[in-house]
Chain A
Amino acid sequence: MIRQRYQSIIIQSICSLLIPFIQLFAIYVILHGHYGPGGGFQGGVLLAVSVLLQRLYLGKEVAYQKFPPKLALALGAVGMLIFGLAGIVPMAFGGSFLDYAYLPLPGVSGAELRYLGILIVELGIGLAVFGTLVLIFDNFIGGRW
């Protein structure tokens, strides 16, 4: 724990206690999106919220070392790329856009293939939303990164 001047011990300890549980719940929401409420967008927002909470209580300098904004940019781009590939690759194999049944994954077919396709798309959406929200926050508080 990093002690700074005028920093409240309550806020620091409670935030560092809560952040891992928020991230765990975010991953649960992303991976459980087929069965229940939730999905990629909500899970990505929760992941972004955990990083933003860290930025709020640690301050800009320390938090940028722990999670640099360029990493957020890269993760958002990778998520968008995953979503785009999961949409376009079935078009190359004879289906329509986001038609998971035509994904060229070896060993799975039918309903299982559709299930995996939904999971891939949810992961992509989650990463894209995560990176984009962290970037929006960083642009709001300003500064160069």
Chain B
Amino acid sequence: MVVLAIVLVVGGAFFLTVSAIGLLRLPDFYARVHAVGKSETLGTILVLSGLAVYNGWELSTVKVLFIMIFVLIANPTATHAISRAALRSGLAPWTRKKRPENKDRKGTEAE
């Protein structure tokens, strides 16, 4: 039981680390939101299920299960809302070739 809990918590910590690295390293807003929305949900759920397994079957475990369901529903919805609002307010997704507004910004910086 303890071994299973340790495996779950370590796996959740791995996914949380991956999402933090993605938040720091990915190029633009949409990619960062994508990193946070998926792997952080999975990491949180894995850590909480590890805690539930370690705790055994009692009232606190049921509360942890409710928190897991809430995170599973709410986190992707919040990500969806944020990225949709960004797209509708006109933020262009990142591409490899440089956008004209980037060139403009560089020109103003050179001046």
Contact = CB atoms under 8 A, between A and B. Distances in A.
B73 A17 contact: yes
B80 A18 contact: no
Contacts of B81: 8, 11
Contacts of B70: 18, 21
Nearest to B80: A10
Contacts of A10: 77, 80
B2 interface: no
Chain B binding site: helix, strand, loop or mixed by DSSP?
helix
A21 B70 CA distance: 10
Contacts of B73: 14, 17-18
A11 B77 contact: yes
A145 interface: no
Q: What is the interface residue range for chain B against chain A?
A: under 10
Interface string B47-88: 000000000000000000000001001100100110010001
A29 B84 CA distance: 33
B36 to A, nearest CB: 17
A6 B88 contact: yes
Interface string A1-32: 00000101011001101100100000000000
Contacts of A6: 88
Contacts of B88: 6
A15 B70 CA distance: 12
B84 A14 contact: no
Most interface-central of B70, B77, B84 (chain A CB within 10 A):
B77
Interface string B13-27: 000000000000000
Contacts of A11: 77, 80-81, 84
Contacts of A21: 70
B84 A18 contact: no
A89 to B, nearest CB: 37
A15 B80 CA distance: 12
A24 to B, nearest CB: 11
Nearest to B84: A8
B63 to A, nearest CB: 10
6 contacts: A6-B88, A10-B77, A11-B77, A11-B84, A14-B74, A18-B74
Interface of B: 70, 73-74, 77, 80-81, 84, 88
